[in-house]
Amino acid sequence: KELRSIGIQPDVIICRTEKPLTSSVREKIALFCDVPPEAVIQAMDASTIYEVPLVLEDEGLGRLITERLGLRTQPPDHREWRALVQRIREPASQVAVALVGKYMGAGDTYVSIVEALHHGGIAANARVTVVQVDSEDIERLSDGEVAERLGAFDGIVVCPGFGSRGVEGKVKAARYARERQVPFLGVCYGLQWAVVEFSRHACGLSGANTTEVDPHTPHPVIDILPEQKSITEKGGTMRLGLYPCRLTPGSLAHRAYGVEMISERHRHRYEVNNAYLPVLTAHGLRVTGIYPEKNLVEIMELEGHPWYLGTQFHGEYRSRPNRPHPLYRDFVRAALRRAGTERAPEVAAVSEEVRGVGSPGMGIHAGDARAAGRDSPLTLPSPQAGEG
């Protein structure tokens, strides 16, 4: 009525509802809004946001729109999307992932990473429960307490960020994943702190650090490029946008992507210091992706580990529910292998192609490892449970 009072006449009325609309309710809405009864569409509550397009299509919204616009269309094929929704609603397995970062509290802080993890779960026919773990809390814990906090997780993601707050917690999380053979993904700043951790504890480079946090570190394993040190404006020193990356054949990254050259999005100032690559690689940290033009490190992996990988780029930005990012997809699969619940590949894949806040029932949870522990009072929902 408000729209009509200013001269806007709706063609369709979409009604959010928990219960099906009766014919009498539809007719009453149609009468007062001056639309045909078939143009009153019920939008029933869905178990996942990805089900909403199917709900509206089944109600005839697509047909109404194309008829109103005079468009000639072919019958839509929703088989892939319906299969995707089915996997979300009835996953065959479950996995718990710790999201270690310092910007915790707001549920959508790392929304792209959370969604990319869920996309990987869809491909693996698994529910991924993502639990926030504040890196500031982790850095105050002893090694034994870190093991207790992170022990219930099947995979660990160390998140991007800037500055010094909470970074030693990221170091402890990376060390725990490395030493305990837990699948690990470090994203941007997460890669850099994994390199710092490895330098200190595997290479014996005491005091190794990034010059972003300690400009006077004796071992600047992460540093700004020499030609950029004279630039005072931070925006001028950032590597922003899409850059090419060459992958090493046989690496985890190459197996995930299935091609040798890729392009991914960036947003960072500091890089792995190439001067330290000989000592890092001598101790087992492999460079498996480089930016060819300047020979910059894009991806690093750990030899002898089931799945330990860091990226300087943000692969999550390019992930989609029906086209999961290859690294997030394979990270989830590695976590499932650790949990002992991985499905066969022919069952798991919604789409094997690539080429990025939790939805209803696919959310991010604040808390620690005990909140996701399968032996704790608060356990993961069963795979058959409906999405909340």
**Could you give the residue numbers annotated as active site?**
188, 314, 316
3-class SS at 309? strand
HSE-CB of 2 using CA atoms within 13 angstroms: 0
CA distance 296 to 271: 7
Strand pairing partners for 185? Answer: 157, 309
Cα angle 194, 328, 99; round to 5: 55
DSSP β-ladder status, 261-268 and 209-210 = unpaired
**E strands within the chain?**
13-17, 40-44, 93-101, 126-134, 155-158, 184-187, 209-210, 220-224, 239-247, 261-268, 270-272, 285-291, 296-302, 308-311, 364-366
Other Cβ atoms within 10 Å of 347 Cβ, number: 11
Cβ(99)–Cβ(133) under 8 Å? yes
Distance in Å from the first CA to the final CA of the chain: 33
Q: What share of the chain is helix, strand, coil (3-state, %, to 5)?
A: 40, 25, 40
Cα angle 343, 345, 347; round to 5: 65
